[in-house]
Structure 1
Amino acid sequence: MKKRILFLIILIFFQFVFGYWVKQPIGYLGRVYGVIIIKGRNDDTNRVYVTAERELYELTYRNNSWNILEIGTSSGWGICAGDGRNDGRIRVYTTFTVVNPQYGGVYEYTWTGTNWEREIVATFPSSPHSSAGHAIVIGDVRNDGRNRIYSTDCNNNRLFESYWDGQRWVTNQILDISGVDMIVAKARRDGINRIYMVGQGTLIYEISWDGNRWIYQPIDTTERLYYAIACGYGRNDTVLRLYSGLGRYGAYSLYEFTWDGNEWEKIRVKGFPRIPRGIGLGDGRNEGVTRIYVGSTGGNLYAMEYSYIGNQWDSCWVDSSGISGTAYYGVCVGKARNDGINRVYFGCSDGYLYEFSYFPTGIKNEEIKLANISKNKLNKFINPLGQVIHTQRLKKGVYFLYEKGNLKKIVKIK
């Protein structure tokens, strides 16, 4: 018993000295694929939207707990949100797959003010095989000032484009190519949006509209085992770069691709313990620094954080649990609790959405007696699980005080 207590004391000491991540499960939702954070109801509240094994869920954080709402049927991989009709209104879009008979397509979900309405954007033809919904993204890929929806059917290797003509949705197949992860980005830094797509262990493709036709080409012709795709300022400079995970056995790694004006420069960032499946960028530590977050698939559950510091890449664990038979899919960084604090969210095959909160080091510690704390309703503390505790309900323990999203003080109340 004494050894166990000593271990816990040492663990707590190292957590406060070196910083640590707190992992919280949210759900149960069923196998979770896509994860986004957005003001989906067109109000001032961020919410989390996830595509799970059978349903699309909306998660809203209020009163120290998550309210989970089933919006509708999903049964697909992909999710995105944005101004798909070019009317200034945010809507949520998901791919779907139904059975008996099987076919795939795209749903649009709109918040009316009282409930969610669903409309079919596209239905994929089941020829020669039964179709299925996979990746989806929204963006101005034709660079004409209009958003369109792009979606894939991996069963028949097809990429579709859908647009709202003012009265109905019009969908056309544009290429015989598909993938399970897809983004729209100006990754060449020339002001032109392009699609970047990857499957599960495939080439990375760049897809462009030249004004007359669609053109696609691989980013890297030497490897065919890439998983996931993301774009961002991973080095915290002014250069957009692409990031993808290599799933070749014995060489699992995160790679970075930079357009130099003529070709893609490829750099191995660092290794990864398993196949890198989900990739996201953001200020997960609330320090004003963009970092890259990667989740695993292929046998064991891991998540890592990559940081570019002092002209070199560093990595550390976010989740080192290594639980067998599970995988992380989607990942997103954002202020989902609407408290000014970024957290990292991973969708998992075990049926849960996991929230990771970072608690850093170098923070002033202070001890306060419970009797000396003002019971002002406006004052609030945050406990180690990220729950907001108003002073009227304070108990003895450790709390974290934030200011504009940054941890300023650790308070021990006696």
Structure 2
Amino acid sequence: MEKRNVILILVIFINTVFSYWVKEQIGPFSNWVSGIVIAKGRNDDTNRIYVATWSRLYELTYRNNRWDIFDMGVTNGWGVCAGDGRNDGVTRIYAAFVLVSPQRSGVWEYTWTGTGWQRDTAIRIPPLSPSSPAAHGVAIGKARNDGINRIYCDDGNNRRIYEGYWTGTQWVSSAIADSYGVDIIIASARGDGINRIYCVGQGTYIYEFTWNGTQWVRELVDSTSRFYYGIACGYGRNDSILRLYSAWGSSPYGVYEFTWNGTRWVKERVKGINALPRTVIVGDARNDGLMRIYVGCYGGKAMEYFYNGNQWDSCWVDSAGSGSYVSIFIGNGRNDGINRVYFGSSNNYLYEYSYISTDIKEKSSDFIISEKINKYYNSLGQVISCSQLKKGVYFLYKKGKLKKFVKIN
């Protein structure tokens, strides 16, 4: 039997489909993992994970069955994003920073030169009162709907949103609105093709900002409640309608969905959770083409929500993790074509969850007879000791794809 770079999922076939989440701890890092993004930051063919902590920025590359971690330097910020911020076709990394003596904050831009990282300042937040400036969330997008990407960040201490624009020769930044903010996204959440800015603090209202051609217009997504944490936009019901999702941070905890009906936002409670939620995302983390909602909570709890056509189902991704999950991202971090969900924790670690599902029907013609061996590999490339394998049918995977059935007699 081929053993090199092979994934063997040990599942005995008993007329049921077995699936589970595989968890891997990555790190430790220098502080809370407060921001995550997956991107081809070096503009090659390799996805890398960029991790922002409360003190430093890191680049993670998966190779040879392990994570190589590169320290990109001090930031003392919160969020991180990636994209074509200069509108020149080059992907760059954007991370919030906070410095003292003198006190200043903003967003740094990182460009890979081929030999190292070049750092520039995309957004400058000047010293303010009553609080020192502190950039939190960072986003990139065409929020003015003019075809031009700009960088956005929120100063959570002084309740302001800033915009950075590359003129072709330099970065120009300015405050564009007043708002509580820790998490920020740019999305066409009303389903009208118009991008808007959405931001939320920690236990605040959800704010929406629309550029009308001359100024930014602020509206509340929910004018009656102000205990929201995290913000995401996506096809959470797997239909053709974009919706907003945010976590409710007051007991009873849960997740809310917001749908624009043409005149107002319609709010619906998705489902509850028995922990204070902090971060939320919508994505295909099971690699089955279906969108689900993922929520990270205090106390190391993580939940998945799925709309089955008439109601919301939920299940644990992690019911007993360590620390508190304060950031989240879904993507192909290992460059194997498989999406995984990543949670950043207050215990200075990044956690990766891989969904493993057989979802295969028995076909006797595909069985092969194999001698027992002492080592197999799981989906993470880790050795499993199986000197006493039981009789049964096993599913052999290689690079995430089913290769054959293995029948142990």
TM-score between the two structures when normalised by the length of structure 1: 0.87
> How do residues 244-259 of structure 1 correspond to structure 2 at under 5 angstroms?
244-249=246-251, 251-259=252-260
Aligned to 1:345: 342
State the alpha-carbon separation in 2 of the partners of residues 334 and 72 from structure 1: 24
Q: 1:364·1:409 contact (CA, 8 Å) conserved in 2? A: no
Aligned to 2:85: 84
Aligned to 2:21: 21
Q: 2:372·2:408 contact (CA, 8 Å) conserved in 1? A: no
CA deviation vs aligned residue, 1:158-207 (integer Å, no higher than 9, x gap): 11111011111001111122300000000111111000100000000000
Cα distance, 1:161–1:412 mapped onto 2, change above 3 Å: farther
Q: 2:82·2:93 contact (CA, 8 Å) conserved in 1? A: yes
State the alpha-carbon separation in 1 of the partners of residues 279 and 65 from structure 2: 28
> How do residues 185-334 of structure 1 correspond to structure 2 at under 5 angstroms?
185-249=187-251, 251-297=252-298, 300-321=299-320, 323=322, 326-334=323-331
Aligned to 1:172: 174
Cα distance, 1:347–1:409 mapped onto 2, change above 3 Å: farther
Q: 1:277·1:296 contact (CA, 8 Å) conserved in 2? A: yes
Q: Is 1:384 paired with 2:387? A: no
**Which amino acid counterpart does residue 378 of structure 2 have in structure 1?**
P
Cα distance, 1:86–1:369 mapped onto 2, change above 3 Å: same
Cα distance, 1:79–1:409 mapped onto 2, change above 3 Å: farther
State the alpha-carbon separation in 1 of the partners of residues 13 and 208 from structure 2: 48
Q: 2:17·2:360 contact (CA, 8 Å) conserved in 1? A: no
State the alpha-carbon separation in 1 of the partners of residues 352 and 315 from structure 2: 17
How far did 1:384 drift? 2.4
Q: 1:364·1:410 contact (CA, 8 Å) conserved in 2? A: no
How far did 1:322 drift? 5.3
> Per chain length, whose mean CA-contact separation is higher, i.e. which structure has more relative contact order (CA < 8 Å, sep 6+)?
2
Q: 1:158 aligns with which of 157, 160, 165?
A: 160
Q: Is 1:99 paired with 2:95? A: no
CA deviation vs aligned residue, 1:305-348 (integer Å, no higher than 9, x gap): 1111132110000001054xx21011111111111111111111
Aligned to 1:375: none
Cα distance, 1:384–1:269 mapped onto 2, change above 3 Å: same
**Which amino acid counterpart does residue 27 of structure 2 have in structure 1?**
G
Percentage identity across aligned positions?
Answer: 54
Structure 2 unmatched ranges of 5 or more = 1-10
Q: 1:363·1:407 contact (CA, 8 Å) conserved in 2? A: no
Partner secondary structure for residue 224 of structure 2: coil
**Which amino acid counterpart does residue 188 of structure 1 have in structure 2?**
R
**Which amino acid counterpart does residue 52 of structure 2 have in structure 1?**
T
Q: 1:395·1:413 contact (CA, 8 Å) conserved in 2? A: no
State the alpha-carbon separation in 2 of the partners of residues 82 and 201 from structure 1: 29
State the alpha-carbon separation in 2 of the partners of residues 20 and 371 from structure 1: 25
CA deviation vs aligned residue, 1:355-397 (integer Å, no higher than 9, x gap): 001112443576752589xxxxxxxx983242289xxxx9877
**Which amino acid counterpart does residue 115 of structure 1 have in structure 2?**
G
Q: 2:180·2:204 contact (CA, 8 Å) conserved in 1? A: no
Partner secondary structure for residue 235 of structure 1: coil
CA deviation vs aligned residue, 1:264-300 (integer Å, no higher than 9, x gap): 1111000012121111122111112111111002xx1
Partner secondary structure for residue 33 of structure 1: strand
State the alpha-carbon separation in 1 of the partners of residues 408 and 351 from structure 2: 29
Q: Is 1:358 paired with 2:359? A: no
State the alpha-carbon separation in 2 of the partners of residues 193 and 245 from structure 1: 22
Cα distance, 1:395–1:46 mapped onto 2, change above 3 Å: farther
Cα distance, 1:102–1:382 mapped onto 2, change above 3 Å: farther
How far did 1:261 drift? 0.6
Structure 1 unmatched ranges of 5 or more = 1-10, 373-380
Cα distance, 1:290–1:53 mapped onto 2, change above 3 Å: same
**Which amino acid counterpart does residue 345 of structure 2 have in structure 1?**
C
Q: 1:291·1:306 contact (CA, 8 Å) conserved in 2? A: yes
Cα distance, 1:363–1:178 mapped onto 2, change above 3 Å: same
Aligned to 1:377: none
CA deviation vs aligned residue, 1:1-49 (integer Å, no higher than 9, x gap): xxxxxxxxxx9999x8541111100111131011111111111111111
Aligned to 2:5: none
**Which amino acid counterpart does residue 343 of structure 1 have in structure 2?**
R
Cα distance, 1:243–1:406 mapped onto 2, change above 3 Å: farther
Instruction: Name the one with the larger helix percent.
Output: 1
Cα distance, 1:400–1:383 mapped onto 2, change above 3 Å: farther
State the alpha-carbon separation in 2 of the partners of residues 358 and 402 from structure 1: 15
Q: 1:382·1:399 contact (CA, 8 Å) conserved in 2? A: no
Q: 2:395·2:402 contact (CA, 8 Å) conserved in 1? A: no
Cα distance, 1:412–1:155 mapped onto 2, change above 3 Å: farther
Cα distance, 1:145–1:400 mapped onto 2, change above 3 Å: same
State the alpha-carbon separation in 2 of the partners of residues 406 and 344 from structure 1: 19
**Which amino acid counterpart does residue 39 of structure 1 have in structure 2?**
K
How far did 1:53 drift? 2.4
Deviates more, 1:124-133 or 1:263-272: 124-133
Q: Give me the CA root mean square deviation.
A: 2.7
State the alpha-carbon separation in 2 of the partners of residues 240 and 408 from structure 1: 37
Q: 1:91·1:110 contact (CA, 8 Å) conserved in 2? A: yes
Partner secondary structure for residue 347 of structure 1: strand
